[in-house]
Amino acid sequence: MLKPIHAVSLAAALVAGAVSPAFAQGEVNVYSYRETKLIQPLFDAFTSDTGIKVNVISASSGLEQRIKTEGENSPADVLLTVDIGRLEEAVKAGISQPIVSPALDKVVPAQFRDPEGHWYAISMRARVVYASVDRVKQTAITYEELADPKWKGKICIRSGQHMYNNALIAAYIAKHGEAKAEEWLKGLKANLAQKPSGGDRETARDVAAGKCDLGIGNTYYWALMTQNPQQKPWADATKVILPTFAGGGTHVNVSGVVLAKHAPHKAQALKLIEWLAGEKAQHMYADVNFEYPLRAGIAVNPIIAGYGTLKPDALPLSKIADQKKAAAALVDKVGFDN
């Protein structure tokens, strides 16, 4: 039985489900960084399809260390997380094992999986611009252009150390080198309308309020705002522009999975991972979570499709992960969050 973490305990849920027919097909234990409301519908559908019960333990941090501390006795089968950095951290912590699945290799493009199979991406999100409908007339922009002095005092963004921005900065380093990335980051800082703060939704709120003309955020947040009566005015006042690197594509990050090194239910875990890359789950990622499906042939949600056609940058995510420490150091060096 999974032990409680932070304020989350599954004891009652496990007891309540102990007589469920789902146990006839086994169970799988998932440690998850993803919000429960976003991922539970997928697990419910998986159980309905396979009869395999999914036990979930959620936290905002510390899951890799927990699995490492539990060692061979860890009940964890799957680690589900967002951000390429966390996927790579799990591998470096020694808590993963290679996933051997021809089915996954067929579905997940090489740039979106670990070269040695230790993690696979399941869905994508892009780091984009929320632009003022009234004050920004252009419909295309590059990441490099965000440092152009013409945007001085017109950009809002959350902390440069947040994993979403860290990954974008790491991608910039991977493409242009540290020296040019530092120059770019200084230019971006000079263009900020205010100290980095809040989250992606707050950047849209501040653009709507006229505090800035451009905000940096993830694709799915804008779509979620359209579904929230209190936040819909922020979406109505902004438009999403899919930026690209000069000569490249749009920076994307992912949600992904790791198979735990000592997974006690390895067969069930593999079924879950493959199911998440299957057609039903990929449709749910698109329509419930407003993410980009990784599986070819799955339609993007109409709201997300309204941004335009996403052309992900070809840079392998593993190359971005290699630069994350350097990105964090640059944020501190230029005093980006000060």
SS3 157: coil
pLDDT one-digit tens code per residue, 112-133: 999 999 999 999 999 999 999 9
Whether residues 39 and 29 fall in one domain: yes
> Which residues are registered as beta bridge partners of 30?
56, 78
Q: Are residues 201 and 269 in the same domain?
A: no
Question: What does the pLDDT average to over 241-264?
Answer: 97
Q: What is the pLDDT of residues 230-239, one digit of tens each?
A: 999 999 999 9
Tokens representing 138?
């252009």
Asked if 196 and 314 sit in the same domain, the reply is yes
Please state, rounded to an integer, the average pLDDT across all residues of the chain.
Answer: 92
Residue 100 has pLDDT above 50, yes or no: yes
Q: What is the mean pLDDT of residues 280-294?
A: 95
Percentage of the chain beyond pLDDT 70 is: 93
- CA-CA distance, 190 to 144, in Å (whole number)? 14
292 is in an annotated binding site: no
Domain co-membership, 274 together with 215: no
Entry pTM: 0.88
pLDDT at 24: 47
Same domain, 192 and 151: yes
**What is the C-alpha separation between 256 and 113, in angstroms, rounded?**
9
Return the closest-CA partner of residue 37 out of 294, 288, 257, 304: 288
**Alpha-carbon distances of 35 from 32, 38, 59, 81, 332, rounded to whole Å:** 8, 5, 9, 10, 29
Q: pLDDT band at residue 194, thresholds of 50, 70 and 90?
A: very high
How many domains does the chain divide into? 2
**DSSP one-letter code for 83:** S
> What SS3 class is residue 271?
helix
Same domain, 178 and 321: yes
Whether 2 is in a domain gets the answer: no
Residues 240 and 112 in one domain: no
Residue 1: predicted pLDDT: 43
Query: What are the respective helix, strand and coil percentages of the chain, to the nearest 5?
Result: 45, 20, 35
- CA 80, 290, 301: angle at the middle one, nearest 5? 135
- Regarding whether 146 and 215 lie in a shared domain, the answer is yes
Q: Which residues contact 268 (CB under 8 A, 6 or more apart)?
A: 25, 26, 27, 28, 52, 77
Residue 221 known to bind ligand: yes
CA angle 185, 312, 139 (to 5 degrees): 70
Residue 51 — pLDDT band, cuts 50, 70, 90?
A: very high
Provide the residue range defining the domain that includes 257.
Answer: 11-124+253-305
Verify that 230 and 94 share a domain, yes or no.
no
Q: Is residue 37 very low, low, confident or very high in pLDDT (cuts 50, 70, 90)?
A: confident
Q: Are residues 180 and 323 in the same domain?
A: yes
Instruction: Flag whether 172 is in a domain.
Output: yes
Looking at residue 59, which CATH number applies to its domain?
A: 3.40.190.10
Pair (179, 199) in one structural domain: yes
Element (H, E) at 29: strand 27-32
Q: How far apart are CA 291 and CA 282, in angstroms?
A: 9
